[in-house]
Structure 1
Amino acid sequence: MSGVRSRHISCVIAASPEAVYEFASDPDNLPGWAAGLAQAEVVGDGEVFLVQSPMGQVTVRFVPRNEYGVLDHDVTLPSGTTVTNPLRVLAHPEGAEVVFTIRQIELTDDAFDRDSQLVEDDLDRLRALIEVMAGPGV
């Protein structure tokens, strides 16, 4: 066993899973909510993007668009290591639930906790943006 830990971070968004998926799957929206990944305009096309992140320039490859709410993406770090990030948009009784799995790869325990908090903050920003766009009563 490698000892790589995983942590699942989620938030519930008062909007349909389809609306959440549409917004979250658009790479142009990443800088607005995924500060842990994208700090500037995302450059690329298709499924591969160059992203200026807090870690430096990274390459991000998303799975193809799909009807299942799967937004998994591989991030190739400046070190050359590629980290697979499972990300799902699920139906929830109150709208949608977004679940992100973070793995402790090349991270100290403190850095893993810090990254986990960054993901939680990112999901909170995603919720706030979508709920403002969706308006009341959604």
Structure 2
Amino acid sequence: MRSRHVSTVIGASADLVYDFVSDPDNLPKWAAGLASSEVVRRGDDLLAESPMGTVTIRFVPRNTLGVVDHDVILPNGATVHNPLRVLPHPEGAEVVFTLRQLAMSDAEFDQDTRMVEEDLERLRALF
């Protein structure tokens, strides 16, 4: 299984970027690959419409380390763990998303990478 780290540098403080990224209500504004509609809360779970269908999202608790890891439970019941970090950077903040190939073909992995790059570019543009 291969991994890729996709990142972008944002000209805003890491704290400000973390606050935005860790707020589930902001997902549709930047994470189109995950949430294409308003996020609905059901207890600790978040439900969102995605290109894959309705998914359940579970974030790690808010923290001071910039960790925004989240599990996505797909419509077929499979769970995908998504490491996401907001790191201090000399120019503001760096957002790093780790992709894992898992059972994807190389073409699907490349497509998934492009979608994450587009999401991170949308996030950068919001700041």
**TM-score clears 0.5:** yes
Distance 1:17 1:43 in 2: 26
- For residue 73 of structure 1, what is the aligned residue in structure 2? 70
Q: Which secondary structure state, in structure 2, belongs to the residue aligned with residue 40 of structure 1?
A: coil
- Per-residue CA deviation, residues 82-125 of structure 1 (Å, 9 max, x unaligned), is 01000000000000000000111232111110010000000000
- For residue 96 of structure 2, what is the aligned residue in structure 1? 99
- For residue 55 of structure 1, what is the aligned residue in structure 2? 52
Tell me, yes or no, if the aligned pair for 1:47 and 1:64 is still in contact at 8 Å: no
Aligned length: 127
Q: Where does structure 1 lack aligned partners over 5 or more consecutive residues?
A: 132-138
Q: What's the TM-score, normalizing by structure 1?
A: 0.89
Following superposition, which runs of at least 4 residues in structure 1 exceed 2 angstroms of deviation?
Answer: none
Q: Which secondary structure state, in structure 1, belongs to the residue aligned with residue 67 of structure 2?
A: coil
- For residue 38 of structure 2, what is the aligned residue in structure 1? 41
More divergent stretch after superposition (15-24 vs 73-82): 73-82
- For residue 135 of structure 1, what is the aligned residue in structure 2? none
Q: In 2 relative to 1, CA 24–117 (structure 1 residues): closer, same or farther, beyond 3 Å?
A: same
Q: Where does structure 2 lack aligned partners over 5 or more consecutive residues?
A: none
Q: Which secondary structure state, in structure 1, belongs to the residue aligned with residue 98 of structure 2?
A: strand
- Per-residue CA deviation, residues 60-79 of structure 1 (Å, 9 max, x unaligned), is 00000001000000001112
- For residue 110 of structure 1, what is the aligned residue in structure 2? 107
- For residue 17 of structure 2, what is the aligned residue in structure 1? 20
Larger radius of gyration: 1
